[in-house]
Chain A
Amino acid sequence: MSDPNLLTSDVEEALRAGVRELLADKADAATVLGRVESSTPSDLDLWRTLVDLGATSLPIPESLGGQGVSWREAAVVAEELGRAVAPVPFLGTMLATAALLTLSDDPHAQDALKRMASGESVVVLAIPLSGPVDGPLARTVRSVADAGVADQFLVPADGGLHLVEAASVQPVVSLDLTRPVWDVTFDDPGVRLTGSGESAVDSALLAGSALLAAEQVGIAEWCLTTTVAYLKQRYQFGRPVGSFQALKHRLADLWQSIVLARAAALNAADALATSNDDVRVAVAVAQSLCSTVAVRAAEECVQLHGGIGMTWEHPAHLYLKRAKADELALGTPGRHRAALASLVNLPG
């Protein structure tokens, strides 16, 4: 097996800079906080701009109106969206995109991909974000991410994947304010797409997990950077708090774990982009590690900000909620390690 490419290209860095600039402009912390408390928690203006920038159609082939690049670029976008905890339906649509790409012989699937690439409609994969996803689906699917802005759903049922409009989409009170979940009910079987629903969902979970790992790196980095900046400026006992060794060591350890998490996330995105045989191991490793690191970074961020970290005004809580929700999404670290155990022959 040759080494994966774990560097980011100039093109990827240019994409990152573009997305980051847009988010600095349209999704600063105060804006995000105001948005998630409103009746329309998803920012569809920002989503529209991201669509126009091409950021949402990166893995869709050019023949279907997409950018035709790879999941590596999509991972760069995911990381930046994580850094800003931007309330846009990126994860839900990427899950649908990955599922549809495996069924792209079907004209309905092609049509759906075209509409997604142009931003004409939002299609979301109807799976409970916190799984498990291997049972038979009920008529009501609980806790579907990004469902509130979806025009259509991809519903796994009877071994196939159905393109359906929902009968009802019920908002629930979500732990993660920036990626709320909804309960979705279906009564119309819709259009059954040609091909295996199971393998479509499997591909979606792999792609979604790799993107989630990138997002988690973005979250962790924001938490580290913000905490470091605060500890340089906050004085107690006549010294910047960041000069105390006990705190420096915690931040050094956090930085160290982010270095490993970043390598793992890049590897997962690269394995996905190159359709590598190793992709399952790469994704299980990345999800197991990056979930844990992002949660720890957010928890340290709250703790090391002291009282400020507990307030609603400070954005730390948005990151903690997103990080913890991401840890549960598409399989907890424990589930990914259980998958890994059989992949690398380490039985329990």
Chain B
Amino acid sequence: MTDVRGRVKAFLAERDPATTDRLDFLRARFDAGLAWVHFPEGLGGLGLPRAQQELVEAELAAAGAPDNDPRRIGIGLGMAAPTILAFGSDELKQRLLRPLWTGEEVWCQLFSEPGAGSDLAALGTRARRDGDDWLVTGQKVWTSSAHTARWAILVTRTDPDVPKHAGMTYFVCDMTDPGVEVRPLRQITGEAEFNEVFLTDVRIPDAHRLGEVGDGWRVAQTTLMNERVAIGGRSIPREGGMIGVVSDTWRANPDRRTPEAHDRLLKLWVEAEALRLAGIRLRQQLANGAPGPEGSAMKLAFARLAQELSGLELEITDDGLRYDDWTLRRPDMVDFTGRDAGYRYLRAKGNSIEGGTSEILRNIIAERVLGLPSEPRVDKDVAWKDLPK
């Protein structure tokens, strides 16, 4: 039995966060097994229950340790790392996990395509075997961080003659390969958080394959499951986030108040508070080792609340007809609080689309949580190449 708290204290005794270089500190933390304690020893962890991580984070935060900027490197941490751990060779794990965790190498994910969003298994990016390598050609879309990423997780079609779920294969893609072209995808807000990624004969060694040939769907499920598990470490305070911004706008603008807007605001305030409490409850379940499916409920509720709140904010703000800035920017992450109400209104529209649309999420809840039967499928026994596109 490892005493995690003791380990953290011993680690801190050797490295004072105040005087140690940030990267040196993070690398040493990884090597000490304190990056993600549920990972195996030698790969940044100690093989302990995931719940113990919270204790490590708390101890290190209290000591003023630098963090590895999980928001910017969320795709690597939440999606790539667990998949590499489950399906990668030892060489791949040794090469990739440490710089991933320290943030020295940023990751993106090449899943969605113009014709395969919610229906991921419809994707058509082809990978053909060429000796010890694969040659990949196709187009991906909605790729956050592609312009800063060193690596990508990539799902491709390797066999078009079998039903769509059976002919996919999963890879780690080197974003510096000359066949990779990244173009900013300007969105509704004027900025470009996302990219289109064009792949033309990108050469990927077979050693960078995760899972068996044709098993890409199952590997992708591992990635997506982990995306859904990832929730923030600390509970947010009351009126944290968008509800706080809108409540403050309300307080600051007595002239713009109407009884109708007041009732809407209060209803949303109640729901935002209940959502915050549901988050606390979910974290307490997680710490108890028994998380429930409530995370899906929270994502649905969050998207709806963000959209309704940001719509209300425009109505009660000083001059909702103005917009702060339409110039094309390339932000590292969504800036919900640093921008104006108009930006929040437009950006919130993405909350019910990104990371799985609310419609698909409702299907998943209905089938996996409530146990309702699935709709009849017309695509199950048909070769991918014969499906209408």
Smallest CB gap from B257: residue in A: A348
Given contacts A249-B359, A253-B300, contact A340 B274 (CB under 8 A): no
Question: Which of B48-56, B201-209, B265-273, B338-346 has 4 or more CB atoms under 8 Å from chain A?
Answer: B265-273
Is the CB–CB distance between A346 and B266 below 8 Å?
Answer: yes
Is the CB–CB distance between B269 and A249 below 8 Å?
Answer: no
Is the CB–CB distance between B267 and A337 below 8 Å?
Answer: yes
- CB contacts under 8 Å to B, within A4-19, are 4-7
Is the CB–CB distance between B274 and A248 below 8 Å?
Answer: no
Question: Which of A52-60, A117-125, A237-245 has 4 or more CB atoms under 8 Å from chain B?
Answer: A237-245
* Cα A345 to Cα B372 with chains together (Å): 43
- CB contacts under 8 Å to A, within B290-335, are 294, 296-298, 300-301
Q: What sequence of 0s and 1s flags, for each residue 284-328 of chain A, a beta carbon within 8 Å of any chain B beta carbon?
A: 110011000000000000000000000000000000000000000
Interface residues on B, range: 35 or more
User: Out of A243, A256, A281, A344, which one reaches B300, CB within 8 Å?
Assistant: A256
* Cα A334 to Cα B266 with chains together (Å): 9
- Residues of chain B lying within 8 A (CB to CB) of residue A346: 247, 250-251, 262, 265-266, 269
User: Interface size on A (CB < 8 Å)?
Assistant: 47
The residue in B250, B273, B297 that gathers the most chain A C-beta atoms within 10 A of its C-beta is: B273
* Cα A247 to Cα B370 with chains together (Å): 12
- Residues of chain A lying within 8 A (CB to CB) of residue B294: 259
User: Out of A251, A260, A348, which one reaches B274, CB within 8 Å?
Assistant: A260
A289 to chain B minimum Cβ distance, whole angstroms, is: 5
Main secondary structure of the interface of A (DSSP, over half): helix
User: Out of A5, A248, A260, which one reaches B362, CB within 8 Å?
Assistant: A248
Question: Which of A94-102, A170-178, A262-270 has 4 or more CB atoms under 8 Å from chain B?
Answer: A262-270
A232 near B: Cβ within 8 Å? yes
User: Out of B235, B270, B367, B374, which one reaches A285, CB within 8 Å?
Assistant: B270
Is the CB–CB distance between A249 and B366 below 8 Å?
Answer: yes
Given contacts A228-B372, A231-B372, contact A263 B266 (CB under 8 A): no
Is the CB–CB distance between B269 and A228 below 8 Å?
Answer: no
* Cα A253 to Cα B273 with chains together (Å): 18
A3 near B: Cβ within 8 Å? yes
Q: What sequence of 0s and 1s flags, for each residue 249-266 of chain B, a beta carbon within 8 Å of any chain A beta carbon?
A: 011001001010011011
A127 to chain B minimum Cβ distance, whole angstroms, is: 25
The residue in A245, A259, A266, A281 that gathers the most chain B C-beta atoms within 10 A of its C-beta is: A259
Total number of residue pairs linking A and B with CB closer than 8 Å:
136
B96 near A: Cβ within 8 Å? no
A91 near B: Cβ within 8 Å? no
* Cα A337 to Cα B254 with chains together (Å): 19
B304 to chain A minimum Cβ distance, whole angstroms, is: 9
The residue in B250, B281, B362, B367 that gathers the most chain A C-beta atoms within 10 A of its C-beta is: B281
A341 near B: Cβ within 8 Å? yes
B222 near A: Cβ within 8 Å? no
Is the CB–CB distance between B297 and A260 below 8 Å?
Answer: yes
Is the CB–CB distance between B371 and A6 below 8 Å?
Answer: no
Given contacts A253-B300, A348-B259, contact A242 B373 (CB under 8 A): yes
Is the CB–CB distance between B376 and A255 below 8 Å?
Answer: no
Is the CB–CB distance between A259 and B297 below 8 Å?
Answer: yes
A261 near B: Cβ within 8 Å? yes
Given contacts A253-B362, A259-B294, contact A232 B266 (CB under 8 A): no
Smallest CB gap from A256: residue in B: B297
A191 near B: Cβ within 8 Å? no
Given contacts A7-B288, A285-B270, contact A256 B371 (CB under 8 A): no
A44 near B: Cβ within 8 Å? no
- Residues of chain B lying within 8 A (CB to CB) of residue A244: 375
Is the CB–CB distance between A344 and B269 below 8 Å?
Answer: yes
Is the CB–CB distance between A228 and B370 below 8 Å?
Answer: yes
Is the CB–CB distance between A6 and B301 below 8 Å?
Answer: no
Is the CB–CB distance between A3 and B373 below 8 Å?
Answer: no
- Residues of chain A lying within 8 A (CB to CB) of residue B245: none
Given contacts A260-B301, A285-B273, contact A6 B284 (CB under 8 A): yes
- Residues of chain B lying within 8 A (CB to CB) of residue A337: 263, 266-267, 270
Is the CB–CB distance between B285 and A7 below 8 Å?
Answer: yes
A252 near B: Cβ within 8 Å? yes
Smallest CB gap from B279: residue in A: A263
B283 to chain A minimum Cβ distance, whole angstroms, is: 8
The residue in B251, B259, B285, B297 that gathers the most chain A C-beta atoms within 10 A of its C-beta is: B297
- CB contacts under 8 Å to A, within B355-372, are 359, 361-363, 365-367, 369-372
* Cα A253 to Cα B298 with chains together (Å): 11
Is the CB–CB distance between A232 and B267 below 8 Å?
Answer: no
- Residues of chain A lying within 8 A (CB to CB) of residue B371: 228, 232
Q: What sequence of 0s and 1s flags, for each residue 219-249 of chain B, a beta carbon within 8 Å of any chain A beta carbon?
A: 0000000000000000100110000000100
Given contacts A251-B372, A253-B362, A346-B251, contact A340 B285 (CB under 8 A): no
A154 to chain B minimum Cβ distance, whole angstroms, is: 31
The residue in B298, B361, B370, B376 that gathers the most chain A C-beta atoms within 10 A of its C-beta is: B370
Q: List 26 A-B contacts (CB under 8 A).
A: A4-B280, A6-B281, A6-B284, A224-B370, A228-B370, A240-B372, A242-B366, A243-B375, A244-B375, A245-B363, A248-B362, A255-B369, A255-B370, A256-B300, A256-B301, A260-B271, A260-B278, A263-B274, A263-B278, A284-B270, A285-B270, A289-B274, A334-B263, A344-B269, A346-B269, A347-B257
Given contacts A239-B376, A257-B301, A263-B281, 10 further A-B contacts (CB under 8 A): A3-B280, A6-B280, A245-B363, A249-B362, A251-B372, A255-B297, A260-B297, A263-B274, A288-B267, A344-B239
Residues of A within 8 A of B (CB): 1, 3-7, 224, 228, 231-232, 239-240, 242-245, 247-249, 251-253, 255-257, 259-264, 266-267, 281, 284-285, 288-289, 334, 337, 340-341, 344-348
| Across the A-B interface, the 8 shortest Cβ-Cβ residue pairs | A248-B366, A259-B297, A252-B362, A6-B281, A263-B277, A260-B274, A252-B365, A263-B278
Residues of B within 8 A of A (CB): 235, 238-239, 247, 250-251, 254, 257, 259, 262-263, 265-267, 269-271, 273-275, 277-278, 280-281, 284-285, 288, 294, 296-298, 300-301, 359, 361-363, 365-367, 369-376
